Amino acid sequence: MNLHEYQARDLLKVAGIPMFDGDVASTPTEAEAIARRLGGTVVVKAQVHVGGRGKAGGVKLARNPAEALECASQILGMTIKGLVVNKVLVVPAADIATESYVGLILDRATQLPVFMVSDAGGVDIEEVAAKTPEKITKIAVDPRYGLMPHQALTLALALYRDWAHVKAATKIMMQLYQVFMNNGASLAEINPLVTTPDGKVLALDAKIIIDDNELDRRPDLAVLRDESGEEPSEVQARRANLTFIKLDGNVGCVVNGAGLAMATMDLVKYYGGEPANFLDIGGSSNPEKVVNALKIITADPNVKVILFNIFGGITRTDDVANGIVAATKQFEVKVPIVIRLTGTNEAEAFKILEGVGMVAMNDMDAAVSKAVGLTKEVA
């Protein structure tokens, strides 16, 4: 789960990491009031889960409270890459001497949290990693012992020469590690960590991703999810316990298992089609899940055909067949449905579908190429 910048700032603040004052606003008047309280020039930043906010006009400079009001009214309600902006962060326009990158990520290779810091900050760290990897210092942390003081010091020394800066940054490394561990993060990033002309070290922007697997045992973190900032169909799917990602094509896919779902999308493309979505109905699927899946997919006007690809293991294919029948009784499905079922209870499943005049197939390639063919006929 991605946190908004203002939510990430809150978590850093709790840990004591120094940063510029600032606050989040939902209305232009609130933004104006924050700008007045801060005094001087401020930056008004859209709080939305996409990159490239600045380029899309979601980050603006305001020299006084009246301009902050004006900027906020332009940004609030605007749509950036399909997502509506409901909140803005108002922070002082900082006077900055240097910018660095500080990140802590869960690394697959070492199977540990790994710190990455670079004095080439404020830019895309992936680009630094690709072009000048020697500018990045990495230290893996063994969570049994935590971040040790000498490790924090080594990281700080990679960024600064001035001892006051080094001391301040060492403390920030320790604090960021606490934020990461205490909140079940898979990424915690300060980018940039800045120094000011008067010698302070401050976090200017923050990004935190919480491991979704933590949310069940951490209701305090689960409430941070901002559903208004997500694709509505994806929110609906999550509530129905489905994993769904909307894409741009016209073949709606309903599959059990993430790997098979991706392979199905790949096969759609292989046969010349474009998938409309990724949808995993998961393991032990009951008919209700299938009904919900069909509701979500049929709501997408781009979908010209629906493709089921179910390999029964724990998933019983007769449950899926019953779900398809139930859905078509509850609402009219206007596009053709191509069904591939194999595995657990497939004979029953085929019978259930035949009972309502539907034909299921056994082979994945045959089903996918048929579905893709149908999109071309309908067009």
Catalytic residues: 101, 189
Nearer to another protein, 101 or 160 (CB): 101
Q: Show the tokens assigned to 275.
A: 């998938």
Supply the minimum distance, in Å, between the C-beta of residue 84 and another protein: 19
Residues 174 to 203: which contact another protein by CB under 8 A? 181, 184, 186
Look up residue 273 and give its two tokens: 């089609």
Show the 3-state SS of 49-84: CCCCCCCCCCEEEECCHHHHHHHHHHHCCCEECCEE
> Is 123 an interacting residue with respect to another protein (CB under 8 A)?
no
Q: Which is nearer to another protein, 15 or 245 (CB)?
A: 245
Binding another protein by CB under 8 A: which of 258, 356, 359, 378?
A: 258
Residue (of 270, 229, 262) closest to 78 by Cα position: 229
The footprint of another protein on this chain (CB under 8 A) covers a number of residues equal to 53
Strands 185-195 and 98-107: antiparallel
Hey, what are 170's tokens?
């060492």
Q: Tell me the chain's radius of gyration from C-alpha atoms.
A: 25
Is 108 a binding residue for another protein by CB under 8 A? The answer is yes
Residues in the chain: 379
Query: Does residue 228 contact residue 328 with C-beta atoms inside 8 Å?
Result: no
Residues 132-151 that bind another protein (CB under 8 A): 142-144
Q: In the range 337-376, which residues lie near another protein by CB under 8 A? A: 342-344, 364-365
x-or-dash string of contact with another protein, 58-97, rule CB under 8 A: ----------------------------------------
Does the protein bind another protein through residue 226 (CB under 8 A)? no
Provide the sign of the torsion angle of the four alpha carbons 118, 121, 126, 130, taken in this order: negative
Q: Which of 269, 288, 295, 373 binds another protein (CB under 8 A)?
A: 269
Least distance CB 302 / another protein (angstroms): 15
Return the number of other C-beta atoms located less than 10 Å from residue 363's C-beta.
11
Q: Is 261 in the site for another protein (CB under 8 A)?
A: yes
Contact between 216 and another protein by CB under 8 A: the answer reads yes
Which C-beta is closer to another protein: that of 21 or that of 363? 363
Other beta carbons less than 10 A from residue 71's beta carbon: 25
Binding pattern to another protein, positions 273-312, x when CB under 8 A?
Answer: --x--x-x--x---------------------------xx
Comparing CB distances to another protein, the nearer of 98 and 375 is: 375
The token pair at 272 is: 């010349």
- Exposure string (b/e) for 158-189, b if CB count within 10 Å is 16 or more? bbbeeeebbebbbbbbbbbbbbbbebbbbbbb
200 vs 218, beta carbon nearer another protein: 218
Reference 76, options 125, 130, 26, 129; nearest CA is 26
Q: Which of residues 55, 111, 223, 379 is near another protein by CB under 8 A?
A: 111
Pick from 9, 16, 20, 5: nearest CA to 178: 16
Using CB under 8 A as the binding rule, whether residue 334 contacts another protein is answered as no
320 binds another protein (CB under 8 A): no
Piece of 84-92, 105-113, 192-200, 286-294 that binds another protein (CB under 8 A) = 105-113
Q: Which residue has the tokens 């657990």?
A: 344
Distance CA 271, CA 55 (A): 36
Among residues 59, 83, 240, 262, the one that binds another protein under rule CB under 8 A: 262
With CB under 8 A as the contact rule, the residue among 214, 230, 300, 348 that binds another protein is 214
